[in-house]
Structure 1
Amino acid sequence: MKTKYGYLTYCSNIHPGESWTDHFFHLKDNLPIIKQSISPEAPMGLGLRLANEASIELLDPKRMQEFKIWLEKECLFVFLINGFPYGGFHETTVKENVYKPDWVTKERYDYTLRLFSILSELLPQGIEGGVSTPPLSYQFFDDNDSERKLRIEKATKQIVAVLHHLVQIQKKTGHSLHLDIEPEPDGILGNVSLWVHWFLNVLLPLAIPELQTQWGFTKEVAEETIRNHIRICLDVCHSAVSFEDNQTIVRLLKENSIQVGRIQISSALKAEFLKQPEETLLLLSSFEEPTYLHQVVIQSEGSPLESYPDLNYAIQRGAKLSEEWRVHFHVPVFLDSYGLVSSTQKELVELLDLQKEFLFTNALEVETYTWGVLPKDLQIPMADSIIRELEWVKSVLDK
C-alpha cells in the first residue's frame, strides 16, 4: 500500500511453491485476506518471489495473462521481485546453496533477465521496479584472495551486461527498473561498506566506458544511468547482524550518492549472556535448524567482531558473559523478545525513523521468510502473521 514514506508490502518468499502453479495457489489463498485487512480500499503492491522454475513458467503468455487478470480483479500490482534464491527455498536444505548459481554463471544472468522481463510486463506505469539479487557470491566458495578477486571481476562483468538490458527496457517501455544487490554476512559484499567500495572502485570504472561506447552517453550520463539502475537492497536484519550503525549507513550512502532500491524490513536474533548464560545458549539452540544459513557475529568489549558461518558452530564454541551475539534468523518484526533472547527490533525502528526523515527509498518490503522453521510456539497462521507484521510497520511509520 502507498504510505507517506513509500510503498509498503511484503515478500512472497514466505509462501512455498517452486513451480508457478504451486506458488500462485498460495498467493490466491493468502493475498486477498491480507489485502482486505491492510488495504481494503486502495491498490496494494506485492514483492513477488519467483524461483527459476516459476520464472520460466510465468513467461508463458497464457499464464501471464491469467496472473494479470487476477491482479486486476484483486486490486493488486507487482513492483518488486525477489531474485536472490534461484532454486528450492522451502522444505529442503538451502544453507550456502542460496548463493548458487552465483553471478559468474550464465544461469544467474539468464534467470535475472527473465525476472526483469516479467517485471516489465507487470509493473504499472509511473512506478519504479526492482529485482533483488545476491551480493555476487559466497566468500567461502574461494580458497584465497586471488580466486575471489577473479570471481568479483567475472561477476561484475555480468552485472554490467544486465545494466545494458535495463537501459534497453527503459528506452523501449519507459519503465525504470533497478537491480537491488543485497549485502549479507559472509557474502562477497558482506556489508554496506564493502558494497559501496565495490560500487565505486570496481563497478563504476568498468561500466562507465562500456555505456559510453554502447549508448553514446557522456561520462556524466553514463554514471547517472548506472546509479539509477544498480542499487543497494538494504536488509535491516543483515546490517544488524554485522553490527552496522544505521546513521553511519545512511550517511555513507548519501555521501556517495548510492540509491537504495528497497528496504527489506526484517529483524535478527540478539542474545546477551550477562544473566543466565547457560539458559540463554540453550534457548538459542532451539533456533538451530537445517534449512537456512544462520550466520553469527559476536561482539565482545575491547575485541574485534568474531564471525561464524552458521549458528551450530557458534553454539559449539560456547558463550562468554561479556558477549553479545547477533544471529541471521529473520524473526517476526512485531516481537522484540523471546524470553532470554531478544530481537534487533530497536535497530529496525531506528532505520525506519531515518527513512521517515530522509526518504531514501520508495519501497518498503517486509521479509520474514522463516515462518516454517520458527520454534512452534512462535508460529501463528501465516496470513495472520503477515497482517500483524504489516500493521506493526504501519504503526512505526505513523508515530
Structure 2
Amino acid sequence: MRLRHSSGRLVHVSYCTNVHPAEDLPGIVEQLDAFALPVRERLGADLLGLGLWLAAPAAAALAGDAGARRRLRAELDARGLEVVTLNGFPYQAFHAPVVKHAVYHPDWATTERLDYTLDLARVLVDLLPGDVDRGSISTLPLAWRDPWPPGRHEAALRMLDRLAAGLTELERETGRTVRVGFEPEPGCVVETTGQASGLLAAVDTDRLGVCLDLAHLACAWEEPAAALKRLAQAGLPIVKVQVSAALEVADPVAARQVLRQYAEPRFLHQTRSATGGSADDLDIALAEELPGPWRVHFHVPLHVAPAPPLSSTTPVLEEALRDLMTAGEPWCDHLDVETYTWDVLPPGRRPGSPAELADGIAGELAYTRDVLSRLAEAGS
C-alpha cells in the first residue's frame, strides 16, 4: 500500500513474504496467487506492497538472468503488486522443521552473506516500480553473539566495506539506490540500537544503516524515542522498519501453562525480563524461572490480542510509529509488516487454510494502515 505522509513524502507499507515457505521461482509465483492477490483484494487496494523474501538459490538465479527478473516483474505487475524492499535475513530453509540458530548463518564474516546480499540488490533494482528510485534490504545484525572473536568482527567490517562498494557500483550502472539495514535482535552481536550506534558507526551511511524491527525493540525494553535519538546522534539512517509485535507477559508464573504453547521447536524465542534477566529461548526461560515481566521474541498477529493472561507489545509498536512518522519528515518510508510465525502459533490460534492466512495478513495490514491514518489525523 502507498500512503502519503503530511510532508508529502510517499510511504510504502508491505507485508513480508517470509511467512510463506516457497524457495524457488515457480513456488514464489504460486504464492502470489495463493496469498498476495487475495490479501490485496481483501484490503480493496489497487496496489499491494510485498517485502519479498528470496532464498539464496533463487536470488542467485534471478541475479544471473535478466529475462527471469523481467518475468517476475511482469508477474507482480499483472497482480497489482509492487516490491521496494527485500528481506535478506534468512539465507534459506526458513521453514525447515528446526531453524533456531541456523538463521544466523552464513554470517557477515563470510563471502556467502556478501554475495547473497549483492544478488538481492541486483534483483531489487529491476523489481522497483518505475516511479521509485530507492530500495531497501534488511539483513542480520552481523551474527549470533557467540562465538564472535575480534578477528571475525574485523572480517565482517571488511565485508561491509565491500558491500557498500558493490551497492555504489550498482547505482552507477542502474541509476537506482539500494540501501541495506542491519536488524538489531536479542542475542546477536548487534542486539540494541546502542550497540548498533557503536559497532556500525564507521559504515558508509549513504548505503548502510539500520532496519528497526519493532518487536526486537520491545524485547530489548528500549524506549522508541530514546532509540531514535541514539541512532540519529550516531548518524545511522533507519533504512527500513519492520512492523511487528512481541509476546508480553506480566506474571510468567501465572501464565506458565499458556506460555508453554508458544515454546515451539522451529524458531528461537529469546526472552528478556524488565529486570535485566535473559534467556536465549522461551523453554529455557520457563525452566530457569526467569523473573518477570517478560517480553518474548515471538512475533504475534498485530490485530488480534493473545489469549489472557498474555498480551503483546503493540503499545510499543504504536508509540514507535508515532515517533517515526509524526515529525516534519518521516524517519523511514519503507514499513514492512513481518509476522512469520502464523503456522507455529498455538493450536486454535493459527490459520487452518490459505484463505484464513490471507485474512490474517490482510487484518494486520489494515491495522497498520489504520494506526498510520490516526497518526496522520492527529498531526494535521
| Fold agreement, TM-score > 0.5 | yes
Q: Deviations over 1:63-101 (max 9, x none)?
A: 323212112212222110100000101142110110001
Task: Please give the secondary structure, in 2, of the residue aligned with 1:140.
Answer: coil
Structure 1 residue ranges, 4+ long, deviating more than 4 angstroms after superposition: none
Q: Give the direction of change, closer, same or farther, for the CA distance of 1:33–1:40 in structure 2 (3 Å limit).
A: same
CA distance in 2, matches of 1:384, 1:294: 25
Task: Please give the secondary structure, in 1, of the residue aligned with 2:179.
Answer: strand
Q: Which amino acid aligns with 1:177?
A: V
User: Cα RMSD over matched residues?
Assistant: 1.5
> Could you tell me which residue of structure 2 aligns to residue 165 of structure 1?
166
Q: Normalised by the size of structure 2, how large is the TM-score?
A: 0.91
One of 254, 261, 278 as aligned partner of 2:239:
261
> Could you tell me which residue of structure 2 aligns to residue 336 of structure 1?
305
- The yes-or-no answer on 1:374 pairing with 2:345 is yes
Q: Deviations over 1:128-186 (max 9, x none)?
A: 101111111111234xxxx1x22211111101101001111112211111011111011
> Could you tell me which residue of structure 2 aligns to residue 141 of structure 1?
147
Q: Which amino acid aligns with 2:321?
A: L
One of 120, 124, 133 as aligned partner of 1:127:
133
1:112-261 alignment runs, 5 A limit = 112-125=117-130, 126-142=132-148, 147=149, 149-200=150-201, 203-204=202-203, 226-261=204-239
Question: Does structure 2 conserve the Cα–Cα contact (< 8 Å) formed by 1:20 and 1:53?
Answer: no
Question: Does structure 1 conserve the Cα–Cα contact (< 8 Å) formed by 2:277 and 2:290?
Answer: no
Task: Please give the secondary structure, in 2, of the residue aligned with 1:253.
Answer: helix
- The yes-or-no answer on 1:51 pairing with 2:55 is yes
CA distance in 2, matches of 1:111, 1:319: 38
1:62 CA displacement: 4.2
Q: Deviations over 1:309-341 (max 9, x none)?
A: 111111101254xx2111000010112342111
- Same amino acid, percent of matched pairs: 32
One of 307, 315, 332 as aligned partner of 2:286:
315
1:198 CA displacement: 1.2
Task: Please give the secondary structure, in 1, of the residue aligned with 2:361.
Answer: helix
Q: Normalised by the size of structure 1, how large is the TM-score?
A: 0.87
Question: Does structure 1 conserve the Cα–Cα contact (< 8 Å) formed by 2:70 and 2:126?
Answer: no
CA distance in 1, matches of 2:123, 2:66: 11
Of 170-179 and 232-241, more deviation after overlay is shown by: 170-179
Question: Does structure 1 conserve the Cα–Cα contact (< 8 Å) formed by 2:240 and 2:335?
Answer: yes
Segments of 5+ residues of structure 1 without an aligned counterpart are 205-225
Q: Which amino acid aligns with 1:349?
A: E
Q: Size of the alignment, in residue pairs?
A: 361
Segments of 5+ residues of structure 2 without an aligned counterpart are 6-10, 375-380
CA distance in 1, matches of 2:62, 2:44: 26
Q: Give the direction of change, closer, same or farther, for the CA distance of 1:111–1:319 in structure 2 (3 Å limit).
A: closer
Question: Does structure 2 conserve the Cα–Cα contact (< 8 Å) formed by 1:281 and 1:319?
Answer: no
> Could you tell me which residue of structure 2 aligns to residue 87 of structure 1?
92
> Could you tell me which residue of structure 2 aligns to residue 67 of structure 1?
72
1:255 CA displacement: 2.5
